[in-house]
A and B are shown apart, each in its own frame.
Chain A
């Protein structure tokens, strides 16, 4: 099972990767991208992901634009579940991400238990 983490913060990418492993998911590979554009570039050559976890605020291409790009992308990537991982808990922003095609939302800070609960349906 492979997961893509899209976040401009090296620390947050490490936090999410560690949390996924601590949550007990049987993940074989965790790939990382530093912004939405890097995420799209990676997905053009490698679409074999069970889940994408994406930040909201990123340079070059933010999380909302990234979700829209994936959902309007080629068939191989357009149905990959995307969960936003962000501090922005405002209903309007969560709503905008869900309207754009995101499948869920996790607020920072989170625990491995939170990841386990929120991501289980995607990583069975």
Chain B
């Protein structure tokens, strides 16, 4: 089988990313998640309360970010680990944001079936006022997912 070109790799990864979010939320968080749209923008700039980031390198370079409110993250992590939201400590939220990004990107890579793309360890940000920016000349695709407790957005610049 011939190696996919850059456009095909990007399309495979974006499709894989979208599917991975739904699968991860269903399998791990037992949450219903509805794909609510996709848009493209020029900047990779995230300012939600919670962000998990994973860098891609190898045959294709890029950045993927998962973003939501702190309340939604608390609910997702609560469901994943089986603890009440109020029992989660800050470390759980930081690790939870990182694991969301980690699992979504792992699922994306598996579904895309592209071997030569490496994933960095995840970075997590949980805060109030910040902007996380990655300067790139490539466009960013933003997937929006609606959950009962709020909106989850996944950013990908590939």
5 pairs, CB–CB < 8 Å, chain A vs chain B: A9-B99, A12-B95, A87-B103, A87-B109, A90-B115
- Give the tally of cross-chain contacts (CB within 8 A): 62
A109 near B107: Cβ-Cβ < 8 Å: yes
Interface residue ranges, A against B (CB under 8 Å): 9-12, 14-15, 18, 57, 86-92, 107-111
The smallest C-beta distance from A18 to any residue of chain B, in angstroms, reads: 5
A11-B96 contact in complex given A89-B110, A91-B115, A109-B27, C-beta closer than 8 Å: yes
Once the chains are docked, how many angstroms separate the CA of A76 from the CA of B52? 39
Report the nearest B residue to A62, measured CB to CB.
Answer: B121
B106 near A15: Cβ-Cβ < 8 Å: no
The smallest C-beta distance from A111 to any residue of chain B, in angstroms, reads: 5
B102 near A108: Cβ-Cβ < 8 Å: yes
The smallest C-beta distance from B101 to any residue of chain A, in angstroms, reads: 10
A87 near B81: Cβ-Cβ < 8 Å: no
Residues of B in contact, count (CB < 8 Å): 26
| Given A91-B115, A109-B27, 18 more pairs with CB closer than 8 A | A11-B77, A11-B80, A11-B81, A12-B95, A14-B80, A14-B82, A15-B80, A18-B81, A18-B82, A57-B121, A87-B105, A87-B106, A90-B115, A90-B118, A92-B115, A108-B102, A108-B106, A111-B28
Report the nearest B residue to A108, measured CB to CB.
Answer: B103
A108 / chain B contacts, CB cutoff of 8 Å: 99, 102-103, 106
B109 / chain A contacts, CB cutoff of 8 Å: 87, 89-90
A86 / chain B contacts, CB cutoff of 8 Å: 106
A11-B82 contact in complex given A90-B115, A110-B27, C-beta closer than 8 Å: no
| Interface residue B129 (Cβ < 8 Å from any Cβ of A) | no
Once the chains are docked, how many angstroms separate the CA of A47 from the CA of B22? 39
Report the nearest B residue to A56, measured CB to CB.
Answer: B121
A87 near B119: Cβ-Cβ < 8 Å: yes
The smallest C-beta distance from B131 to any residue of chain A, in angstroms, reads: 25
